[in-house]
Amino acid sequence: MQTQSVDLASLVAPWLDLSSSPYADKAVGELHLDSRQIKANDTFVAIPGHQVDGRSFIPKAIELGAAIVLSQASDAHPHGEIEVVEHCVIVHIAELNQHLSQLAGRKYTHQNNRLIGITGTNGKTTISQLIAQWLILAERKAAVMGTTGNGFLDDLKPAANTTGSAIEIQRTLAELDQQGAQYTALEVSSHGLIQGRVAALEFQVGVFTNLSRDHLDYHGTMQEYAGAKQRLFTTHRCHAAVINADDDVGKQWVREVDGAIAVSLGQHRDNNGVFATRVDYATSGITIEFDGFAGSGRLHVPLIGEFNASNVLLAFSTLLKLGVTKQVLLDTAAQLKPVLGRMELFSQPRKAKIVVDYAHTPDALEKALAALRVHCEGKLWVVVGCGGDRDKGKRPMMAASAEKLADHAIFADDNPRSENPAAIVSDMLAGVTNPEVITVEHDRFAAAQYAIEQASDKDIILLAGKGHEDYQVFANGNTHYSDRETAATLLGVTL
């Protein structure tokens, strides 16, 4: 890892002058927000969190060998106060939680790694991985950070959250820089923006995909949710903006963000942007004819669905802004691959096709079903559920989308978490017009198995909501489960 050799005075210099302190030269070890990760000579960063106050774990961190503790100042311990407990130096700093990104950046450096930030409700993972794939095809070394993991595409390390903590992000970027990454495409969540987890990062390009209902349990209103996303372009260092102008919020932001590149499937034709003049969909992929600031051309990519056409055009426009030549992108587009658990097609002769997709919002589910309808010669099935301990308002909305756009809907468990699965399905059934035609089968494998047994070889079955995930979360813990494995098992194909 490219860990900056830094002393205590240098690390905290922007907020506190310790140049004359007897501890100024004390070496700063690895930074950790979780006291359980502390090892000898590490540095514990203690801040109040949403559920627990990290400062209550200072004794534990010292017991595990912390040499330094940086603690958020309080009335009891004002800004600038220094304590020494069992050879551990404790420094109290005002509003420390707001400085984590910059603090970690002073410890973990990544000067050679150019960053692309992708925000929006849906499409972040697909776009980030398409960008990385395309850069690799253009002979650049590229990595990703997000929902499906962090690292290079052939060696992704699992990630607990779409956007990790400010310290985790800086440390991971430093590791990737050390491993030769020239570019990293980061999924930037609304939580990550609001909580300042990427505050000190410099983005060469920021990408906005779309905005639809999600995370209202956290943000409260769609306006607050949109405002969180917009921060990538307004309060962060973002040198260029690539925005989906087919989205209502994106169309507004194109006018508000200086120099924004408007990207459209044809609704919004702007010669300073990139827009489709024709889009053709087939089971072999999508063909996009386009025009705009880089001139005209024709892309063929082996992905399915209208929203993937938008994802491809957003990735394409981003790479143009990064300086990759149009011809290189056109020449390599056909080599792009579908992203794990994102409109991923499984097929076997004389059996229904199964598509696995991460769609877990009303808008994403509608788009996935609408995209598959174009390809479906028979009946369209969907197996879908909703997460527990999350926004309950989207449950009837997702159910309504399933009833309206699929020929057969099966409601199954997603990640119930601490909630009763039957209560979640009850909330979903409240959104449908004819609940008697909905099949309820809580066990996801059994639900998919029922669909494949009932479906004809011309039918398509969408397993929605889990995507790349290989687990389910119940009140009593996690259990192994994968829609991708289910699809492979039921069709007798190899993953």
Q: Which three-class secondary structure state does DSSP give residue 350?
A: coil
Binding residues for ATP: 120-126
pLDDT digits (tens, 9 = 90+) for 23-33: 999 999 999 99
Q: Which three-class secondary structure state does DSSP give residue 149?
A: strand
For the whole model, what pTM was predicted?
0.85
Q: Is the pLDDT of residue 363 over 90?
A: no
Average pLDDT for residues 244-250, to the nearest whole number? 94
Q: Which neighbouring-strand residues pair with 357?
A: 464
Q: What's residue 114's pLDDT?
A: 98
Q: Is the pLDDT of residue 162 over 70?
A: no
**Quick one: 270 exposed, middle or buried, by C-beta within 10 A (0-12, 13-18, 19+)?**
middle
Q: What's residue 220's pLDDT?
A: 56
CA distance 472 to 239: 39
Q: Is the pLDDT of residue 213 over 60?
A: no
Q: What's residue 3's pLDDT?
A: 55
User: Could you tell me the strand order of the sheet in which 439-440 lies?
Assistant: 344-346, 353-357, 460-464, 380-384, 408-411, 439-440
The DSSP annotation for 320-340 comes to HHTT--HHHHHHHGGG--PPT
Nearest alpha-carbon partner for 160 in 484, 469, 486: 469
- Domain topology for 8-97: 3.40.1390
Helices (H), 376-436: 394-405, 421-429
Q: Which neighbouring-strand residues pair with 346?
A: 354
Query: Where do the domains of the chain lie?
Result: 8-97, 110-335, 344-491
Distances (CA, A) of 64 to 5, 30, 104, 171: 22, 13, 21, 21
Q: Is the pLDDT of residue 161 over 90?
A: no
State the average pLDDT for the chain: 94
Nearest alpha-carbon partner for 205 in 102, 109, 107, 127: 127
Nearest alpha-carbon partner for 229 in 119, 359, 68: 119
Q: Which of 42-56, 105-119, 211-225, 256-270 has the lowest mean pLDDT?
A: 211-225
Q: Is the pLDDT of residue 225 over 90?
A: no
**Quick one: 307 exposed, middle or buried, by C-beta within 10 A (0-12, 13-18, 19+)?**
buried
DSSP 8-state secondary structure symbol assigned to residue 158: P
Q: Is the pLDDT of residue 4 over 90?
A: no
**Quick one: 141 exposed, middle or buried, by C-beta within 10 A (0-12, 13-18, 19+)?**
middle
Average pLDDT for residues 70-84, to the nearest whole number? 98
> For residues 66 and 42, is the Cβ–Cβ distance under 8 A?
yes
Q: Of 127-131, 159-163, 305-309, give the range with the top mean pLDDT.
A: 127-131
Q: Which neighbouring-strand residues pair with 297?
A: 290
Give 1's pLDDT tier (boundaries 50, 70, 90).
very low
Binding residues for meso-2,6-diaminopimelate: 390, 414-417, 465, 469
Q: Is the pLDDT of residue 42 over 70?
A: yes
CA distance 103 to 46: 13
Nearest alpha-carbon partner for 243 in 228, 260, 259, 227: 260
* Residue 166, C-beta contacts closer than 8 angstroms, at least 6 positions apart: 100, 101, 103, 104, 195, 196, 197, 198, 199, 200
Give 212's pLDDT tier (boundaries 50, 70, 90).
confident
What are residue 51's phi and psi, to 5 degrees?
-115, -35
Binding residues: 33, 35, 50-52, 120-126, 161-163, 189, 195, 197, 390, 414-417, 465, 469
Class level of CATH domain 110-335:
alpha beta
- Domain topology for 344-491: Protein-Tyrosine Phosphatase; Chain A (3.90.190)
Q: What's residue 228's pLDDT?
A: 80
Q: What Rg value do the Cα atoms of the chain yield, rounded? A: 24
Q: What's residue 374's pLDDT?
A: 84
> For residues 115 and 172, is the Cβ–Cβ distance under 8 A?
no
Average pLDDT for residues 437-442, to the nearest whole number? 98
CA distance 272 to 292: 6
Q: Which three-class secondary structure state does DSSP give residue 252?
A: helix
Q: Which of 4-13, 175-184, 211-220, 230-239 has the lowest mean pLDDT?
A: 211-220
pLDDT digits (tens, 9 = 90+) for 288-300: 999 999 999 999 9
Q: What's residue 52's pLDDT?
A: 94
